Structure 1
């Protein structure tokens, strides 16, 4: 696997670490790539905890394969190759890592293993294509899961990371022609899966929340604190899509039907109407962290994270995640 570039300082330092046989020195050099490799694994797997595990597996494989690195490719390229193939091996062994039917009319399906990606764990360089908002939002991650694993890898390497076809082919032990064919099929599937309102994933990256998004997430939290069901209803589009993961049951509903469903499930009723909220961002999207205090509890306990997709000042998609027992989200368990 080669890149048309001279040996860089990173590669020279890595080769010296390999010759030394010092695992601590090896770890210091490879560690700087951890965050971007974890994002890469997350795009492949849609699950933050799996991505953590596979990133660690990448470093273990890299240590065992260290003698195979000759400096003909960038260290980063070599590590991405290992990470991609580690994810493909993982997917080969798991039959629970494919979307399942929603029960809704049409071809919709759910990704029950989807987890949010905390923005605080993204790579720090905002210019990196690896953190482009259009390629980390939940809808994009879900769409990628509809690709067969090898198509998925081709699509991410080519269209997200911008690798040329020969480089992607080398990483996956494929021909350039087969990579080009797989990419064409993957692009067709992605355009079917992504709603029309989504930006093209190959446009220049954006990172910041809009004023609309900030205003809507604040209004959403305020409505919870006041138990203002009319206010909450007014924030939702009538073609709202709602899911509470990892439970099965994505629904499309009018705003009124959605709120009525939450109320019939016990929320906003006496004993389940004392809310506190904070904001966060996951997957470069606005999110409300919801805390609920029940009569027997002395404090507000973490209830869920609601990730909002805002269109024209309204919530078009609301994805709720069980936030308990997930310290990597970086939110306190109580308020």
Structure 2
């Protein structure tokens, strides 16, 4: 019978393993499934572990190789911005369900220090950039540059030589350096996060276009997977809300995704209640020309349970 002490020792690593698998796979649901499988496999094999490596190293080894097995047959996950240029004009929306879209990572319940770390390594544009790397390059990069393992440890976990792991790491770093998202502008001020979230919630529920306009930068990026069209101007975003969003009564609740403030939005149903509609991830920057630089709206009600949000609100 496996040692029951395993769970007490292993559970503290669950959160970081979830973020690690999410960075590799681009899907929080797939990552959750892989972490559950990792914990079960590790528990079943724990009697033979004998402390040959640290428990953290061993768990990462199991989880990483499980992710690589999934990635053998998986398509690269993307955001709409990864499929084409944005627009600042009024345009029809085209939905594509067949694309494997990148998803958000719930970060409810994380402390401020953990949120700051998650923000740096799970920001949506950064995770989307990770997905462009070949799986084994991606895995070496995640183990060394994010999880802080030595190159030799990463190589042993992946069954590679140290030279091969070092080469893969160099190629991965070079690829990201050539096309890495701007990160320095993204705010790390919890006070600003709270204020932006409060104002966004109020503008959204009130259908207040002017209030929303005061929050948006002129060059704001606004994406809505599974719609392939995305906007990169305040005027286009406001026009979208005037034509499509604020025509129906809405409700919203605060949450957190990828280390950023987020909103779960609800639209009114025929019986007057409000049903789950989308998760909005808000990226704010310091500046006088509005503060919201990026909004990604995931139009998938199935995400709500993972964010501990109800799927229906009373009218």
- Does TM, normalized by the shorter one, top 0.5? yes
Q: Which residue, out of 204, 213, 217, partners 1:233? A: 213
Aligned to 1:298: 272
Aligned to 1:334: 312
Tell me if 1:102 matches 2:83.
yes
Aligned to 2:157: 171
Aligned to 1:257: 236
The 3-state SS of whatever aligns with 1:249 is: strand
Following superposition, the deviation at residue 112 of structure 1 comes to 4.3
Count of aligned positions: 295
Cα distance change of structure 1 residues 81 and 128 upon mapping to structure 2, 3 Å threshold: farther
Following superposition, the deviation at residue 299 of structure 1 comes to 1.9
Query: Any unmatched runs of 5+ in structure 2?
Result: 87-98
Higher relative CO (Cα under 8 Å, sequence separation at least 6) belongs to 2
Aligned to 1:78: 58
The 3-state SS of whatever aligns with 2:261 is: strand
Cα distance change of structure 1 residues 302 and 127 upon mapping to structure 2, 3 Å threshold: closer
Cα distance change of structure 1 residues 250 and 194 upon mapping to structure 2, 3 Å threshold: farther
Cα distance change of structure 1 residues 310 and 192 upon mapping to structure 2, 3 Å threshold: farther
Deviations along 1:52-108, one digit per CA (max 9) or x if unpaired, are 1111221343345446523221111111101100000010022x2344852227xxx
Question: How is 1:179-258 mapped onto 2 (pairs within 5 angstroms)?
Answer: 179-198=165-184, 209-245=189-225, 247-258=226-237
Question: How is 1:128-143 mapped onto 2 (pairs within 5 angstroms)?
Answer: 131-143=117-129
The 3-state SS of whatever aligns with 1:119 is: coil
Aligned to 2:254: 279
Distance 2:263 2:213 in 1: 16
Tell me if 1:324 matches 2:301.
yes
Deviations along 1:127-174, one digit per CA (max 9) or x if unpaired, are 699x44311222222221121111111111100111111111111111
Greater mean deviation of Cα atoms: 166-175 or 321-330: 321-330
Following superposition, the deviation at residue 199 of structure 1 comes to 7.3
Cα distance change of structure 1 residues 39 and 211 upon mapping to structure 2, 3 Å threshold: same
The 3-state SS of whatever aligns with 1:52 is: helix
Cα distance change of structure 1 residues 217 and 30 upon mapping to structure 2, 3 Å threshold: closer
* Preserved CA contact (<8 Å) 2:279 2:299: yes
CA RMSD across the alignment: 2.8
Distance 1:333 1:174 in 2: 45
Question: How is 1:9-158 mapped onto 2 (pairs within 5 angstroms)?
Answer: 21-22=1-2, 24=4, 26-63=6-43, 65-66=45-46, 68-94=48-74, 96-99=75-78, 101-104=82-85, 112-120=100-108, 126=113, 131-158=117-144
Deviations along 1:196-218, one digit per CA (max 9) or x if unpaired, are 34379xxxxx9x64333322222
